[in-house]
Amino acid sequence: MSYGSKASHRHGKSIPEEEVQPNNNINNKKKMTSSPGKASASFMSWSAKEVAAVLLRHPILCVFGVSLLFFMGVEYTLLMVPSSSPPFDIGFILTRPLHSLLAASPSVNSLFAALNTLFVGMQTAYIIWTLLLEGRPRPTIAALFMFTCRGIMGYSTQLPLPQGFLGSGVDFPVGNVSFFLFFSGHVAGAVIASLDMRRVRRYEMASVFDVLNILQGVRLLATRGHYTIDLAVGVMAGFIFDILAGKYEEAKKPHMTHCPSQDAIALQNGH
């Protein structure tokens, strides 16, 4: 019996155990160097070229970073509007000339209101059309989500009617009835319709809706029918609820593959 180092036999050859067993000291060193607690911070490895590449490839994010610092300075040094004063709204300031014109010409105001009501009817007709005739429920789902959320938020925080509000009997909702200010369902509905038009490659129609939506926003500010924040959130709500409707449609896809109108389309195509 040999008292030397133990050996392992492989293919009839003796191999020292030191060559078979891993070196525990080396493994322990690797574990110590790869320990998260001793790892250097990520920014320590950034080079000047990498930083310059970020500035060149992501200019929008850089602008947002600068705007963050700018608006922090504005927010912390701004004089708050006292509770006895009307809200400050930059959209009202920019539309003062148009507001004066509409206030002096009620007939012109009613004409613009009627055209705006017609545009709301166009939005509604398109969304219903996509559901009943084309069998695509996504715009309708988005509108249902949006108006439900708008009702909850509008009732939860009821903003005061802006000073100088110019109502009209032909404005939507027709009849000078009460309405929620936050947020604008007019704007959000137009965005939902426009996004769907682009999804099905109706680009020219979508562009027309976008232009009309901008004109609608200017009119709502000029008549003091909405605050600027109502319109801005309306745009974002249109995008958000369109995305949520798409996710809902995808989640319920096994149950939504059959739509009555799809059978009619199939018959028309001879299938």
Asked if 226 is an active-site residue, the reply is yes
Tokens of 101: 């014109």
3-state SS, residue 166: coil
Class of residue 168 by CB neighbours under 10 A (exposed 0-12, middle 13-18, buried 19+): buried
- CB-CB contact of 90 with 226 (8 Å): no
Q: Which residue has the tokens 């539309």?
A: 95
Give residue for tokens 């404005």.
Answer: 171
* Residue 186: active-site member: yes
Task: Considering only CA atoms, give the Rg of the chain.
Answer: 32
Instruction: Tell me 160's DSSP state.
Output: P
Query: Sign (positive/negative) of CA torsion 152, 90, 174, 236?
Result: negative
Q: 99, 171, 186, 196: which is the annotated catalytic residue?
A: 186
- Is residue 222 within 8 A of residue 99, CB to CB? The reply is yes
**Residue 196 neighbours by CB under 8 Å, 6+ apart:** 126, 127, 130, 136, 138, 139, 242
Beta bridge partners of 264: none
Q: Could you tell me which of 240, 219, 243, 241 has the C-alpha nearest to residue 231? A: 219
Active site residue ranges: 186, 226, 230
